[in-house]
Amino acid sequence: MKVVVTVQHPGHVHFFKHAIRELETAGHEVHVFARENEVTAALLSAYGIDYEMLAGASASLPSLARVQLTYESRLLARAWKIDPDVIAAIGGVAASHVAAAVGARSVVFYDTEHASLIKRLAYPFADEVCTPDCYTEDEGDKHVRYPGYHELAYLHPSRYTPDETVLDDAGVDPDDPLVVCRFSSWDSSHDVGQGGFDDLTEVVERLESAGATVQLTAEVDLPPELADRELSVAPERMHDLLYHADLTVGEGATTATESALLGTPAVYVNSLRLGYTTELADEYGLVFQYNGPNRHEEGVRRAVELLGETDGGRWQRRRARVLEDKRDVTDVVVDRVLAGG
């Protein structure tokens, strides 16, 4: 089969990387097209994935619309020449449109219920919409549910083994409590009007006052007083750091989920609730989410409390329960891509 995979975010690289290798090993022809966003190009290169960059990064919502139009028009031109059997994507706006235009089957993976604009633009044109089974909405006859989370496409134990050297490379003393913080930019279409922490500097100061070493990763420029806490390890080693951390604190649902699936508790502070973070919070006790008007204070207070707790083994026990219940999601991706072949 001829397969096109589209990548518009670093998380998409992680999600598809093992599926791309499996499809190519099985003899299928895979073409990867990307739009630059944060470290997308760096990750594709680090994983040895051949790709073509079709559009650059966007600095605002208006520029995102222009960049997306450029990306979609260039993807269409490439697809006409390739004549693919299937186009796969996360979100899938460009993928579903282009697939419909060139007569390919489109397989869209998604997990974000509140992304109404993306859903309105992509779902009507998609042949298949694949979501985790904790997704709270019904997308009709084309909706395929599976037991898993996007992050289990690359963090399932069959796909991922943590690197023990990451703490040395990050300059972190293994005897010190480590907190990884992830701060969001709030410039995605589904983040308009939403928010997380009130004061990033206060978050870091209170964690450090509780005895933690804090490492930061952010979609925005950090305040000058926090610049020296920014992560120094390569982006493809972020998951190693999350695995060895004692706690993750942040505004990003993906990072909170990655952390939880690695057995590191996550404090998730965001005005939006998602099906998958709610399940990880309510069913498995690996995420502590705060979405209300007092989310800043409640989230920081809970983070400090977690740093003071001593039974670290319970997080790995809870992780084991998740892994018993959920699938290796790369297997799901490959199955759905080849379903029409």
224 belongs to a structural domain: yes
Distance in angstroms (rounded) separating the CA atoms of residues 214 and 109: 33
Q: Which tokens is 145 given?
A: 């549910």
Distance in angstroms (rounded) separating the CA atoms of residues 55 and 68: 8
Distance in angstroms (rounded) separating the CA atoms of residues 224 and 300: 21
> Do 305 and 318 belong together in one domain?
yes
129-170 confidence digits (pLDDT tens): 999 999 999 999 999 999 999 999 999 999 999 998 999 988
- Please tell me the predicted confidence (pLDDT) of residue 61: 65
Q: What are phi and psi of 192, to 5 degrees?
A: -60, 130
**Angle at Cα 225 formed by Cα 233 and Cα 268, nearest 5°?**
65
268 belongs to a structural domain: yes
Distance in angstroms (rounded) separating the CA atoms of residues 162 and 153: 15
- Please tell me the predicted confidence (pLDDT) of residue 60: 65
DSSP string of 14-36? HHHHHHHHHHHHTT-EEEEEEE-
> Do 279 and 179 belong together in one domain?
yes
> Do 123 and 181 belong together in one domain?
no
> Do 310 and 332 belong together in one domain?
no
- Please tell me the predicted confidence (pLDDT) of residue 186: 44
- Name the more confident of 195 and 119: 119
129 belongs to a structural domain: yes
> Do 179 and 92 belong together in one domain?
no
Which uninterrupted H or E stretch holds 281? Answer: helix 275-282
Q: What is the pTM of this model?
A: 0.92
125 belongs to a structural domain: yes
Q: Inform me whether the pLDDT recorded for 14 exceeds 60.
A: yes
Distance in angstroms (rounded) separating the CA atoms of residues 219 and 283: 29
Count of CB atoms situated within 10 Å of the CB of 77: 11
Radius of gyration of the chain (CA): 20
How confident is the model over 91-108, as a mean pLDDT? 97
> Do 142 and 187 belong together in one domain?
no
- Name the more confident of 318 and 186: 318
Residues in the chain: 341
Do the Cβ atoms of 222 and 201 come closer than 8 Å? no
3-state secondary structure of 336: helix
Burial class (CB in 10 A: 0-12, 13-18, 19+), 194: middle
> Do 143 and 203 belong together in one domain?
no
Mean pLDDT of the residues in the chain = 92
Q: Which tokens is 147 given?
A: 């037991």
Which residues does 25 contact at the CB level (< 8 Å), separation at least 6?
A: none
> Do 297 and 186 belong together in one domain?
yes
Helix residue ranges per DSSP H, the chain: 10-25, 40-46, 61-82, 93-102, 116-122, 166-170, 200-209, 238-244, 253-261, 275-282, 295-307, 313-325, 329-338
Q: What percent of the chain has pLDDT over 70?
A: 95
> Do 137 and 222 belong together in one domain?
no
> Do 171 and 295 belong together in one domain?
yes
How confident is the model over 59-82, as a mean pLDDT? 87
- Please tell me the predicted confidence (pLDDT) of residue 189: 47
> How far is C-alpha 178 from the chain's CA centre?
21
- Please tell me the predicted confidence (pLDDT) of residue 193: 53
HSE toward the beta carbon, residue 118, CA cutoff 13 A:
23
Do the Cβ atoms of 266 and 247 come closer than 8 Å? yes
Q: Inform me whether the pLDDT recorded for 194 exceeds 70.
A: no
Domain extent, residue 141, equals 2-148+327-338
- Please tell me the predicted confidence (pLDDT) of residue 275: 96
- Please tell me the predicted confidence (pLDDT) of residue 261: 98
Q: Inform me whether the pLDDT recorded for 340 exceeds 50.
A: yes
> Do 80 and 205 belong together in one domain?
no
39 belongs to a structural domain: yes
What would you measure as the largest C-alpha separation in the chain, in angstroms?
59
The CATH code of the domain that includes 131 is 3.40.50.2000
154 belongs to a structural domain: no
197-240 confidence digits (pLDDT tens): 899 999 999 999 999 999 998 877 788 999 899 888 888 899 99
DSSP string of 191-255? GTT----S-HHHHHHHHHHTT-EEEEEESSPPPGGGGGGB--S-GGGHHHHHHH-SEEEES-HHH
158 belongs to a structural domain: no
Nearest to 284 by CA among 307, 261, 313: 261
> How many structural domains are present in the chain?
2
283-339 confidence digits (pLDDT tens): 999 999 999 999 999 999 999 999 998 787 899 999 999 999 999 999 999 999 999
Q: How confident is the model at residue 65 (pLDDT cuts 50, 70, 90)?
A: confident
156 belongs to a structural domain: no
Q: How confident is the model at residue 178 (pLDDT cuts 50, 70, 90)?
A: very high
Do the Cβ atoms of 287 and 252 come closer than 8 Å? no
- Please tell me the predicted confidence (pLDDT) of residue 190: 46
> Do 10 and 137 belong together in one domain?
yes
